[in-house]
Structure 1
Amino acid sequence: MLSMSTYGVADSAQLAILTKALNDYCATHHVVDTVEREQIALKILSLFRRGMIDPGQISTELERVG
């Protein structure tokens, strides 16, 4: 199981998961604007800092908060 490090730093496997979550969400919602992508990335990082790394959970939470 992947978990966040003590300092909240993503390792390469976690970074790949977070990047895929961003790309998948943006593709699904046709997000191409850089500013909007950055806002979504910040939401994903916030979820990660709270200990969320499961792709399904991240996707569900992004859909919930928009």
Structure 2
Amino acid sequence: MLPYGVADSAELAILTKALNDYCAEHRIVREDERERIAIKVMCLFKRGMIEPDQLSEELERLG
């Protein structure tokens, strides 16, 4: 992770995939709903979570 919670290109790809996978699985298509999930993904990342499985599990837990 780069300083101040900034994602590098590899991390950004993981975060994007986590967002897209979660939204696809839960049939989330509205932009405002996707943005809400994206904020959750970024909050998890800022807490140090970057492993795809860990992100997925935590997103499911948070709902």
TM-score past 0.5 threshold = yes
TM-score by length of 2: 0.97
Q: Provide the C-alpha distance between the structure 2 equivalents of 1:19 and 1:59, rounded to a whole number of angstroms.
A: 12
Matched, 1:37 2:37: no
Shift of 1:9: 0.5
Identical pairs, percent: 68
Q: Which runs of 5+ in 1 are unaligned?
A: none
Name the structure 1 match of 2:49.
52
Aligned residues between the structures: 63
Q: How does 1:22-33 map to 2 (within 5 A)?
A: 22-33=19-30
Amino acid at match of 2:5: G
Q: Provide the C-alpha distance between the structure 2 equivalents of 1:36 and 1:9, rounded to a whole number of angstroms.
A: 23
Choose between structure 1 and 2: higher helix proportion.
Answer: 2
